[in-house]
Amino acid sequence: HVQLVESGGGSVQARGSRTLSCVVSGYTYSDGYCLGWFRQAPDKEREGVAQMYSGESSIYYLDSVKGRFTISHDYAKRTLYLQMNSLKPEDTAMYYCGISPGSCPARPFINFGYWGQGTQVTVS
């Protein structure tokens, strides 16, 4: 049973920082895998924020977060992170993490095979 659990969301003032975590359990890490974060704000389409292929290669960032967000993965802890700096009100959204076997088929990629329940980030 694959389970992804996000944490770290909350309310933050503009220009502040927040680190999101995503613990992945029950997933068999074999060959390659695509890990990433996507978000969805009310009345907006889901958008891919950051993604990476296994081993932190082929990292992709949404243009609007480049230079502000950093995706990383601690394989030993089975945890994916999203460090968010210089947050803006337009970053307000529910943030989800996802994982899929194989390479990331698109940039951005949002149709992960498994994803979590999300964590809300509100920037004011």
Q: What is the pLDDT of residue 30?
A: 77
Residues in the chain where the model's pLDDT stays below 50: none
Measure the CA–CA gap between 124 and 102, rounded to whole angstroms. Answer: 37
Distances (CA, A) of 84 to 2, 3, 73: 26, 23, 15
Q: What is the pLDDT of residue 91?
A: 98
Q: What is the pLDDT of residue 67?
A: 97
Measure the CA–CA gap between 75 and 89, rounded to whole angstroms. Answer: 31
Q: What are phi and psi of 65, to 5 degrees?
A: -115, -5
Among 117, 122, 104, 87, which Cα is nearest to 52's? Answer: 104
Q: What is the pLDDT of residue 64?
A: 96
